[in-house]
Chains A and B, each alone.
Chain A
Amino acid sequence: MNSLADFLPAAPEIFLALSALALLVLGAYAGERATMALNGLAVLLLIGAAALVLRPVLAGGGIARQVSYYGLYVTDGLGVFAKLLVLLGAGLSLILAMRYNEREGIGRFEFAVLTLTATSGMLTMIAANDLISLYLGLELQSLSLYVMAAFARDSVRSTEAGLKYFVLGAVASGMLLFGASMVYGFAGTTNFDGLAKLFTDNDSAGIGVIAGIVFISVGLAFKCSAVPFHMWTPDVYEGAPTPVTAFFSVAPKIAALVLFLRVMLDPFGGLFAEWRQIIWAISVASMVLGAVAAINQRNIKRLMAYSSIGHVGYALIGLAAGSAAGVRGILVYLSIYLFMNIGTFAVILCMRRAGKMVEGIEDLAGLSRTHPGLALALGIFMFSMAGIPPLAGFFAKFYIFMAAIDAGLPVLAVIGVLASVVGAFYYLRIVKLMYFDEPKGSFDAPGRELQAVVLLSALVILFFFAWPDPLVNAADAVAAALFAG
């Protein structure tokens, strides 16, 4: 472990961490004038990190599973896939944030730095092959996110969101750490491969390890805001500055779900029958609560919070299936979810009336007359989230339910589709406001960058059905590789 090549597997994380430090220095010297430029630079750096993630693929070789740093760190297909999604989510939300921060008077360069450190943490989470590196990545991510939630430091709501997120997040991290220590105490190792060798079947784990797994699940469920550890989500989503909410709703969620998947399937894969019921219950609770609780929301950011809780529930069906088909379903779901959510938040960022942001869903009334393009895009996102074909959201759910039926979980699938009908109600309500109601006033003209993001996401969601092969096949290959080893 002393040549440069030994460090290469973690090149994206190292690159992002160094970039964050460099941006910090640059920002400190250049002052606030350069914020926009630094933001742009950060986007380029994220693209650079994506190139580094893709390096093994670009170099022509396939993505073989490779464990490095004395077993702490793993690079595999799942990692590459998820890292690209996280980087894409981070990059797009950074683009959404640029002008917003400037206009809201929070245009400070630390935003880009924090995004980079958080992203670096997420990549580490995804690549964790040991409970220690898992915790390191998770904390690097979480600490950056706490600060980002409170980024509008003069706003009471934002600081409250940050504080709430921090206190509850710290408790969850503590739980996770406690669970990890229990697992270590009973198993004698923190390494995933070592744990996987120990727990090959259901009889191989004692009650202590099971308790440890439960605590770890609690921590991870909190991070991806699954019921019953979702309480922070609506408040933090509502309070945080909107681009931060957009970021929260995609990148950390994808990272946490992939981590969840890896922890459950890799070290504890042999204990499938033990933890399956936990995931089953979390999944059902999330789907149902996400569908029912969103009905009465008046604030669009809160509504999106509940919607994201519901989506996590659907994604977790794939984990409850515990099969290659399930992993494939989760990956397809997360990819499509990323575009639906970023697109929706881009539209929410366009909701600006006479220079002030508005967040009530009633403010969308008559959008189809004042901004037909935006209304069409948001309509596409809403129908897609409700899972109506031929939009991409349908295929996301399709692959998930496919895995559920294949794994013999018809009850979970039936609950899932019924919850999706309930959920369709509030998505339709937004369509109704935009298309059936009379306008109450127009929004300010949206910025170029917002329009571009909305257009990109809408096209992806609308035309996914015509060319689903690349995404589905990639997810399929990744999932198959995960179960082959």
Chain B
Amino acid sequence: MTTILQGRAHVYGRAHINTDEIIPARYLNVHAEADLARHAMEDLDGAFVSKVQAGDFLFGGEDFGCGSSREHAVWALRGAGVKAVIAPSFARIFFRNAINNGFLALECAEATILAEPGDAVELDLAAGRLRNLTRNREAAFVPLTDFARDLLAAGGLLPYIQAKAPTVRTAAQAGA
């Protein structure tokens, strides 16, 4: 995985941004990333999809992604081009879905004050640091656990399981 990423900041500092805002339930009758991407963050900021570009970062408030278990929330953001979500804390299922997808969800205490919308931000995965290139600010994020790192390196939970236990696949395939 490339360890230095650059992108623009989108900032939604409110706490408890929930999955109904990230991808409203009225769109749960589809699950292709491209379809979901058209409605990412729609109920919070209808203009988000017109602003976001591939490789951008989304900065959120505490308990980001609370609410339903829909993985569609991660897919919608990724489909819209978001490279990483950075927040002081995440709701459990959102975080789990993110790393299961090999998608970056990083905990950073200063997430809501590091950047203003549109700032250029650099994410240094190896160093565990975020740099606001526009305003010359820097912050550390909580290092990922070894397990989360392994999942990200593998590209998500399913490739991870397959690489770790090829027998799982063959047993399942051969299974009566």
A is bound by B: no
Chain B positions near chain A (C-beta within 8 angstroms): none
